[in-house]
Structure 1
Amino acid sequence: MLHARKTFVTAVTVIAISCSAASLIAQKDPDVGGSPMYANKNIVQNAVNSKDHTTLVAAVKAAGLVDTLQSAGPFTVFAPVNAAFEKLPAGTVDTLLKPENKDQLVKILTYHVVAGKVSSADLVKMIKMGGGKAELKTVEGGKLIASIDDGKVILTDEKGGTATVTIADVFQSNGVIHVVDSVLLPN
């Protein structure tokens, strides 16, 4: 009985130390696009410093979404890197940035946003509870399907395109960013 109690106390101590270490690691401001992303700054304040998100920032400005993404939120943003925009057909980004295409740009950008703060742990839990898939309702009103493949979170858009989360849990004062490698498109 004494041995079992010592084993239990040791196990609890190891778990407590592990949790403390994990929380210290989670508090570090991760680098995205060569710049630290500070948890006390909002989504826009951080994104403008990422050299990997210059196209996204330009699109957010052109769409008039800066004030929204600086508001209290919270928001979960699946943020495509510049290379993701480069995968689109030639001329697509330039066309979307034109004032006459603002509505379409807003639709695409808000399709990358989910209301609330969904961490990677929350997302994985939702996927497991959903039998391998989780349906996320976007601010645009559409759906993204999240799944796990080879240990990575994959998002599938309404057109069947996919994006992989390459950097998860970039916490912001008004939500969380998950960096993705492709642009997701609504119907």
Structure 2
Amino acid sequence: MKTPIILTLLCAFLAFNSLTAQISNQESHKDLVQNGTNLDNHKILNAAVKATELDALLDNAGPFTIFAPSDAAFERFSSEKISELLNSKDKSALKSLLTYHIVAGQLTASRILSAMCRGNGKASFTTVQGKKLSAHLDGYDIVLTDPMGNTARITTADLNSKIGVVHEIDSVILPTQM
């Protein structure tokens, strides 16, 4: 398989530069929930993290990489489905969904690109739930693909957080059919 020219150029760039090219973020000492509140486009994610009490777990462990769906991404679900997930007494489905968006360690965009360089254009990451996410480039965008074939683009990369790195994505990725 031929390596796309853009990936070749990115690999060459990464080979000659240190992997410290992260976007500076004034929110670097706040946790995911606080970042979500301040970014104003992660209200649903914020509510879900609080509902499952993952905020306490994330705050006491890590570092983690969070692929954070925006509110617009969650709104692709029906409002009934969102309400059902958030208000159910059994939070296992919601927790499963959220932990599928979390990878142990700090995967900055440059580290994801480096892994793709080593993987001939593709990389695979294991979520804390234990399932795989794959990454590839589409033009200049890093695209994640879940086992169901759903994709999500990283729209804002390398938001620093006390718990690790947060990448905003444009779709909710699914561990199973929901």
* Fold similarity call, TM over 0.5: yes
Q: 1:114 to 1:26 in 2, by over 3 A?
A: closer
Does structure 1 conserve the Cα–Cα contact (< 8 Å) formed by 2:42 and 2:70?
yes
Matched, 1:54 2:50: no
Q: 1:127 to 1:26 in 2, by over 3 A?
A: closer
Look up the match of 1:103. Answer: 92
Task: Compute the TM-score of the two structures, normalised by the length of structure 1.
Answer: 0.79
Aligned equivalents of 2:167 and 2:22: distance in 1? 14
Q: CA deviation at 1:44?
A: 2.4
Higher fraction of helix: 1
Residue 143 of structure 2 aligns to which amino acid in structure 1?
Answer: I
- Structure 1 ranges of 4+ moved more than 6 A: none
Does structure 2 conserve the Cα–Cα contact (< 8 Å) formed by 1:44 and 1:69?
no
Matched, 1:93 2:82: yes
Mapping of residues 123-162 of structure 1, within 5 Å: 123-162=112-151
Deviations for 1:77-106, whole angstroms, at most 9, x for unmatched residues? Answer: 000000001112442111111233400000
Structure 2: 5+ residue stretches without partners: 1-16
Equivalent in 163, 166, 174 of residue 163 of structure 2: 174
Does structure 1 conserve the Cα–Cα contact (< 8 Å) formed by 2:23 and 2:157?
no
C-alpha RMSD of the superposition: 2.0
Q: CA deviation at 1:27?
A: 6.3
Matched, 1:113 2:102: yes
Q: CA deviation at 1:185?
A: 0.3
Q: CA deviation at 1:179?
A: 0.3
Matched, 1:82 2:71: yes
Aligned equivalents of 1:92 and 1:182: distance in 2? 15
Structure 1: 5+ residue stretches without partners: 1-18, 30-36
Mapping of residues 19-38 of structure 1, within 5 Å: 26=22, 28-29=24-25, 37-38=26-27
Q: CA deviation at 1:139?
A: 0.6
Deviations for 1:35-72, whole angstroms, at most 9, x for unmatched residues? Answer: xx511222223222221000000011111211012224
Identity of aligned residues (%): 41
